[in-house]
Amino acid sequence: MKKIIAIYPGTFDPLTKGHSDIIKRAATLFEHVIVAIAANPTKTPVFNLHERVQLAESVLAKLDDVEICSFDNLLVEFAKQRGAQVILRGLRAVSDFEYEFQLAGMNRKLEPTLETMFLMPAEQYAYISSSLVREIAGLGGDVSDFVHEEVRTALTAKLKLKN
């Protein structure tokens, strides 16, 4: 049987309960899941790359066959370097589909051997996005239902420093 490696890329700024839900379920479907945290120089994240990796490692520490790493090159190149056959993407709502469909088509054009698969988070996480979490936390709101405790603590501390 072929060992299938899936790569779940994202900025994860911050990692939400929706992200971890998808990762947990992916870990039951694939032999190995790589959570690939993008440097993404076009965005200005709250957490730097090292902090995002550390938070993901903390939240996902108990999951077997889940690896956390960062990357700063083209996703399809990184996936090939790591031996991944599947790019895993999350879909929260129909509004995500058009963008994700475009990405999947571009990735297929760049590397036809990589497949893109979509997973939806559990219903209770379908409305959560990192940008909404950052906005709520930035305005002093409680984000404990949306992120794990270590992420909430780090986010609160980081935003207090910025203000």
Active site members: 19, 43, 92, 130
In sequence order, which residues have a C-beta less than 8 Å from that of residue 159 and are 6 or more positions away?
46, 137, 138
Q: How many other CB atoms sit within 10 Å of the CB of residue 10? A: 19
Say whether 22 sits in a helix, a strand or coil.
Answer: helix
In sequence order, which residues have a C-beta less than 8 Å from that of residue 51 and are 6 or more positions away?
154, 158
Element (H, E) at 36: strand 32-38
Measured CA to CA, the distance from residue 69 to residue 100 in angstroms comes to 22
Element (H, E) at 80: helix 75-82
The answer to whether 128 and 18 have CB atoms below 8 angstroms apart is: yes
